[in-house]
Structure 1
Amino acid sequence: MQIFFFSLVLCFVLISSQTLEEDKKALLDFLSSFNSSRLHWNQSSPLCHRWTGVTCNENGDRIVSVRLPAVGFNGLIPPFTISRLSSLKFLSLRKNQFTGDLPSDFRNLKNLTHLYLQHNRLSGPLPVILSELKNLKVLDLSNNGFNGSIPKSLSGLTSLRILNLANNSFSGEIPDLDLPKLSQINLSNNKLIGTIPKSLQRFQSSAFSGNKLTERKKQRKTPFGLSQLAFLLILAAACILCVSGFSFIMITCFGKTRISGKLRKRDSSSPPGNWTSRDGNTEEGGKIIFFGGRNHLFDLDDLLSSSAEVLGKGAFGTTYKVSMEDMSTVVVKRLKEVVVGRREFEQQMEVIGMTRHENVAELKAYYYSKDDKLAVYSYYSHGSLFEMLHGNRGKYHRVPLDWDARLRIATGAARGLAKIHEGNNGKFIHGNIKSSNIFLDSQCYGCIGDIGLATIMRSLPQTTCLTSGYHAPEITDTRRSTQFSDVYSFGVVLLELLTGKSPASQADSVTTEGENMDLASWIRSVVAKEWTGEVFDMEILSQSGGFEEEMVEMLQIGLACVALKQQERPHIAQVLKLIEDIRTIDTE
């Protein structure tokens, strides 16, 4: 009996090895048709670990992903090569110079879920064999030379979520594609005629622009001569204007009162708390310390007499936007729950003030007295990542963040955090990374604010750490955060960028078996079920561009950052390189 089982195991190993060898032979046959200097595939090197763009399954016995964008391939896609990878799920050959028809033997790729062939020179009619790929979720054939009609047989792709056929030469009428899971379609810039089928009328008109389509039927008019949609939009806009006007009056009337009321805590007979430069005299109430060697010309009275509004209240204090008489704008943060003395406070401010980087919010000055501890920062007019991601969701006037903007935000924030971790001889930490502490500069790159405050403030309650969704599981005292817990928090921000979901609200609303589940845990569970596409923000998926491949890469980076064991998390320098490499191949 033991010999029998041993023989079975040996047979299984031989079959697996032979299958992997067959996959390797198929790829080598594919590569032999081209002369590409960017790939260094070697038959003697490990296939699953050393071959650029190739990914194997967990068992390491089959190839499941081939990603070869912009590597210089040209000519026909060689038949009976790629199609021999029977376990292939993900294929990207975008941004090459492939010509001719799509090989008919692609029908053998029964397990394929993602097919990216955009930005090539493929031509001819769309082959009917595509409808045989029943597991296909993403099909991007944009920016090619395909012609003929769009086959009705595509309705058979019942798992399809994204269909991009833009910038080709398709003609005829758009078939009535009954695709229940379709969340994004782009048929723009073809030669299509007729009307938009009822099944596709839920998508934005931009998805069909650049064709010769006739207009949809006009909507029924209201008694005022307006369409129902226009009437409702006008009514909604009027309501919003009323609310906004009332809010503006409240801010204008009470904004300055609130900041002056918070800061003035002295008797009228006491001298005012003057803010002087580093070389100035120290008053009884404390002094303001400026950074950067500049001689600032405002003091506390200037701030209190300027127009101010409350930007927000957080665990570390209240933040005000202050518009000075010289038209400049700064942010003043009044710190609460400071648990260190003057000396330690000033030492920490000095370390923060010396952390200068374009992706780190600049600490301009600080102020310490018995009653008030203040930090003065640069002001970012584009607001925070939290506001851009979650503000006005579901409102018709909201301008969503596209994928390019989110990638720039992630890149900038990673650069900023890498600089922070270099401070204090490589031991500096942030301690409170979240989307409301990441601001957007003029080019939409992320800039990290509120750095280094966690170590001088009272530790946040354990319940706050658990429900915020940002803190690493090992952190029980926020004053004892580490660089690895910073990486965890940054990973949550990456997941927030990808999903559009707030970690705090996710922790409250998503439960499994009666227990709360934070954003990171929810994404792990979804990805484990191979429902990766379900996690992405619909605001990104509804925009054209075909960036899901890059989003999947960012998702893997985010999941690595939120590893439950801190020793398994990458350093932020490694994270930064991975993010910057997402588009490396395309820019070579």
Structure 2
Amino acid sequence: MDKKLAILFIFSAALAMEAVFDSVGAEPVEDKQALLDFLDNMNHSPHLNWDENTSVCQSWRGVACNSDKSRVINLRLPGAGLSGPIPPNTLSRLSALEVVSLRSNAITGPFPDDFSNLKTLTSLYLQFNKFSGPLPLDFSVWNNLSVVNFSNNSFNGSIPSSITNLTHLTSLVLANNTLSGEIPDLNIPSLQDLNLANNNLSGVVPKSLLRFPSSAFAGNNLTSANALPPAFPPKPPVSHLAKKSKGISEPALLGIIIGGCVLGFVVIAGFMIVCCYQNADTDVQPVKSQKKKASVKTESSGGQDKNNKIVFFEGCNLAFDLEDLLRASAEILGKGTFGMTYRAALEDATTVVVKRLKEVTVGKRDFEQHMDLVGKIKHGNVDAVRAYYYSKEEKLIVYDYYQQGSVSAVLHGFLDTYTVLEVANGSMLLHVHYAGRGGEGRNSLDWHTRLRIAIGAARGIAYIHAQHGGKLVHGNIKASNIFLNSQGYGCISDIGLATLMSPIPAPPMRATGYRAPEVTDTRKATHASDVYSFGVLLLELLTGKSPVSSTEGEQVVHLVRWVNSVVREEWTAEVFDVELLRYPNIEEEMVGMLQIGMACAVRIPDQRPKMPDVVRMLEEIRRGNTPNLASTESRSEASTPTPRAAGTPTTVQQ
């Protein structure tokens, strides 16, 4: 009896183990075949590693299954080089699909009729393709849909009123198509994001949609009275202003004008006299101060310092003088556009970064005023200026030191040099020791680190643009001016130095790649040119390539032009750094950042987004959402780089 029980127990255990192995090795066979049929009938990127001999749930890029591996529920293939119409009876067999993202490809043809079989869909991303024809007539078959993005295609016809039945809808983006007719009354309480811009819509905007900004309806045939919500009131009547002006007689008006001119002349004359005395004092003072020994002088702000002492800003707990700085052992961090940068180790073990400026053309007063302005900027993503020194011979700026180095050094590697500065008989001696070279120092940056770098730098630039009444510009955004703060986010340095320097007609090759095409004088940078430079930085993070490089045949390759050419040929996946391809399920996020970078780096300044919009879109990527590029003032297709603004197609040329 015991023997029979033992045999029965072993047999039961074997059956149980077999069931376990069967469940572990389970594959959604029918779904797998449907995906293979889909792929066999479309052009696609060679990086799409779908193989019938590998696990669809564990190995296939862009595919995710449910918890028991019985069905495919997510399909994300952004920028996968897909072209041609979607083959019928392929994706429609994946009846458990919840998320479909085929954005940033070159898919043509009408919206697939058999998608009506995908009744469990919650998110449908088809933007930046070449779809044509009408929208699906009956949206109610997808009653769980929360996100619909069909923007930047060639859909025509009217907007179906059946969209109203989508009671869970939170985002509807149909911008940059050729839709016509009136806007239906989409009274959907859950709807939070709407964009119907740049179509051929006409008529009246329904009252239920007036809660959305006017930009959601721009570029259509809607009348301004109907298209503008109450938040944008009309201009005051001209007649009312005219009546007020009639109350002043002509003689009184003439007297006011003459009196104003006389007063203005007196004010200008007084101002010129004061300026002459101040300039004379400024020109003479540095000569007198050279006879005095430099010493520490702590100031609350960067005001005038008549003795050419180091000026420390409020909140800085450093204490050293010029001789301490010159005696410090230092490492060359880089030779940039505006001078040499050192890491200085002081005798009290304090480590700072010192930038030694060259070609400063402004006078002492203008220099101090600028330093006072940037020294007051306190933000977690802006490298704080701790102190500065100004004399006729030397202009130094002191910053915090970041242990991890610049983004350029981490991403590309750098020439590692060690240098010792000494003061001997009043002159500076420079000893340089070369310890390493080139890309050998390159570290691999994972995707989340690159995303945090981009988000942090964007926040810092947006904050800089908001200072001084919106008049402050960075002017020299590049990877070597961005560092990683203690939280691993990007931190921007070297604020506004371009305004202090003489124009640089021929900057270093790499710096040229960051410069916006409209900038011919480095002192006249704008917010838009900063956005362009930041766009180049995003492309640099995505590709791992320098903004400008040369091939073996000495051919110069500009990163922006190269990215546009690759994307234009519908091989978007080819632009990404091979280091990033090791990380699963980030294709959607990478393509999202690629679209943002290309939108920032368009040739026409007015088509570039503003930095607050860039911050918002990057943070949407971090939250796992799709950035809504169509809702910004600048739009750029990732599948074909032809951004559209106000319904007018514009070809990007770099």
TM range, smaller chain: 0.5 to 0.7
What's the counterpart of residue 278 of structure 1?
Answer: 299
351 and 43 in structure 1: CA distance in 2 versus 1, 3 angstrom threshold = farther
What's the counterpart of residue 413 of structure 1?
Answer: 457
1:468, 1:22 → 2: CA distance?
A: 43
1:55 equivalent in alignment to 2:55:
no
Give 2:563's match in structure 1, choosing from 507, 513, 523. 523
> Once the two structures are superposed, what CA deviation does each residue of 1:359-390 show, in whole Å capped at 9, x if it has no partner?
11110011111211111101101000101110
What's the counterpart of residue 482 of structure 1?
Answer: 526
1:564 equivalent in alignment to 2:603:
yes
What's the counterpart of residue 243 of structure 2?
Answer: none
- Gaps of at least 5 residues in structure 2 are 1-106, 126-134, 140-144, 158-167, 169-285, 415-436, 627-654
1:308 CA drift (Å): 1.9
Structure possessing the higher relative contact order (Cα contacts under 8 Å, 6 or more residues apart): 2
1:292 CA drift (Å): 2.1
CA contact under 8 A between 1:465 and 1:471: conserved in structure 2?
A: no
Based on CA coordinates, which of the two structures has the bigger radius of gyration? 2
459 and 353 in structure 1: CA distance in 2 versus 1, 3 angstrom threshold = same
1:456 CA drift (Å): 0.6
1:287 equivalent in alignment to 2:309:
yes
CA contact under 8 A between 1:506 and 1:519: conserved in structure 2?
A: no
1:538, 1:529 → 2: CA distance?
A: 19
Bigger mean CA offset, 281-290 vs 297-306: 281-290
CA contact under 8 A between 1:510 and 1:518: conserved in structure 2?
A: no
509 and 278 in structure 1: CA distance in 2 versus 1, 3 angstrom threshold = farther
Structure 1 SS opposite 2:616: helix
What's the counterpart of residue 577 of structure 2?
Answer: 537
What's the counterpart of residue 298 of structure 1?
Answer: 320
What's the counterpart of residue 232 of structure 1?
Answer: none
Structure 1 SS opposite 2:408: helix
CA contact under 8 A between 1:285 and 1:370: conserved in structure 2?
A: no
* One-letter amino acid of the counterpart of residue 400, structure 1: S
Structure 1 SS opposite 2:398: strand
Give 2:393's match in structure 1, choosing from 352, 368, 371. 371
560 and 509 in structure 1: CA distance in 2 versus 1, 3 angstrom threshold = farther
2:304, 2:526 → 1: CA distance?
A: 36
CA contact under 8 A between 2:410 and 2:442: conserved in structure 1?
A: no
1:459 CA drift (Å): 1.2
1:303 CA drift (Å): 1.8
> Once the two structures are superposed, what CA deviation does each residue of 1:180-217 show, in whole Å capped at 9, x if it has no partner?
xxxxxxxxxxxxxxxxxxxxxxxxxxxxxxxxxxxxxx
What's the counterpart of residue 445 of structure 2?
Answer: 401
Give 2:380's match in structure 1, choosing from 341, 358, 369. 358
> Once the two structures are superposed, what CA deviation does each residue of 1:28-78 show, in whole Å capped at 9, x if it has no partner?
5524x47x6999x99689xxxx9835336643369xxxxxxxxxx9xxxxx
415 and 491 in structure 1: CA distance in 2 versus 1, 3 angstrom threshold = same
* One-letter amino acid of the counterpart of residue 563, structure 1: V
Give 1:548's match in structure 2, choosing from 577, 587, 590. 587
* One-letter amino acid of the counterpart of residue 573, structure 2: G
Give 2:618's match in structure 1, choosing from 572, 579, 582. 579
Give 1:337's match in structure 2, choosing from 353, 356, 359. 359
1:534, 1:544 → 2: CA distance?
A: 15
1:61, 1:528 → 2: CA distance?
A: 24
Structure 2 SS opposite 1:526: helix
CA contact under 8 A between 2:549 and 2:557: conserved in structure 1?
A: no
Q: How many residues get paired?
A: 358
CA contact under 8 A between 1:308 and 1:322: conserved in structure 2?
A: yes
2:525, 2:591 → 1: CA distance?
A: 29
> Once the two structures are superposed, what CA deviation does each residue of 1:60-106 show, in whole Å capped at 9, x if it has no partner?
369xxxxxxxxxx9xxxxxxxxxxxxxxxxxxxxxxxxxxxxxxxxx
CA contact under 8 A between 1:507 and 1:519: conserved in structure 2?
A: no
TM-score (norm 2): 0.49
What's the counterpart of residue 445 of structure 1?
Answer: 489
1:504, 1:314 → 2: CA distance?
A: 15
* One-letter amino acid of the counterpart of residue 468, structure 1: T
Structure 1 SS opposite 2:402: coil
1:534, 1:449 → 2: CA distance?
A: 31
1:552, 1:518 → 2: CA distance?
A: 20
2:572, 2:497 → 1: CA distance?
A: 36
Give 2:545's match in structure 1, choosing from 493, 501, 525. 501
> Once the two structures are superposed, what CA deviation does each residue of 1:108-133 show, in whole Å capped at 9, x if it has no partner?
xxxxxxxxxxxxxxxxxxxxxxxxxx
Bigger mean CA offset, 524-533 vs 466-475: 466-475
2:473, 2:304 → 1: CA distance?
A: 31
1:560, 1:336 → 2: CA distance?
A: 34
1:493 CA drift (Å): 0.4
1:526 CA drift (Å): 0.6
517 and 59 in structure 1: CA distance in 2 versus 1, 3 angstrom threshold = farther
1:276, 1:30 → 2: CA distance?
A: 72
1:337 CA drift (Å): 0.5
Structure 2 SS opposite 1:451: coil
1:453 CA drift (Å): 0.4
2:390, 2:553 → 1: CA distance?
A: 41
1:460, 1:536 → 2: CA distance?
A: 32
534 and 24 in structure 1: CA distance in 2 versus 1, 3 angstrom threshold = closer
CA contact under 8 A between 2:410 and 2:441: conserved in structure 1?
A: no
TM-score (norm 1): 0.54
1:584, 1:424 → 2: CA distance?
A: 31
Structure 2 SS opposite 1:287: coil
* One-letter amino acid of the counterpart of residue 23, structure 1: F
CA contact under 8 A between 2:411 and 2:445: conserved in structure 1?
A: yes
Structure 1 SS opposite 2:487: coil
Structure 1 SS opposite 2:147: coil
2:397, 2:564 → 1: CA distance?
A: 38
1:540, 1:404 → 2: CA distance?
A: 10
CA contact under 8 A between 2:356 and 2:395: conserved in structure 1?
A: yes
2:598, 2:471 → 1: CA distance?
A: 24
1:355 CA drift (Å): 1.5
572 and 477 in structure 1: CA distance in 2 versus 1, 3 angstrom threshold = same
Give matches, 1:141-160, under 5 Å.
none
378 and 426 in structure 1: CA distance in 2 versus 1, 3 angstrom threshold = same
CA contact under 8 A between 2:528 and 2:610: conserved in structure 1?
A: yes
CA contact under 8 A between 1:276 and 1:288: conserved in structure 2?
A: yes
59 and 271 in structure 1: CA distance in 2 versus 1, 3 angstrom threshold = same
Give 2:111's match in structure 1, choosing from 7, 11, 23. 23
Give matches, 1:233-252, under 5 Å.
none
- Gaps of at least 5 residues in structure 1 are 1-18, 63-72, 74-264
User: How high is the sequence identity, in percent, across the aligned residues?
Assistant: 49
313 and 52 in structure 1: CA distance in 2 versus 1, 3 angstrom threshold = same
CA contact under 8 A between 2:334 and 2:342: conserved in structure 1?
A: yes
* One-letter amino acid of the counterpart of residue 298, structure 2: S
1:322, 1:397 → 2: CA distance?
A: 21
CA contact under 8 A between 2:413 and 2:439: conserved in structure 1?
A: no
Structure 2 SS opposite 1:488: helix
Structure 1 SS opposite 2:299: coil
1:289 CA drift (Å): 1.8
What's the counterpart of residue 195 of structure 1?
Answer: none
378 and 44 in structure 1: CA distance in 2 versus 1, 3 angstrom threshold = farther
1:530 CA drift (Å): 0.4
Structure 1 SS opposite 2:397: strand
Structure 2 SS opposite 1:505: strand
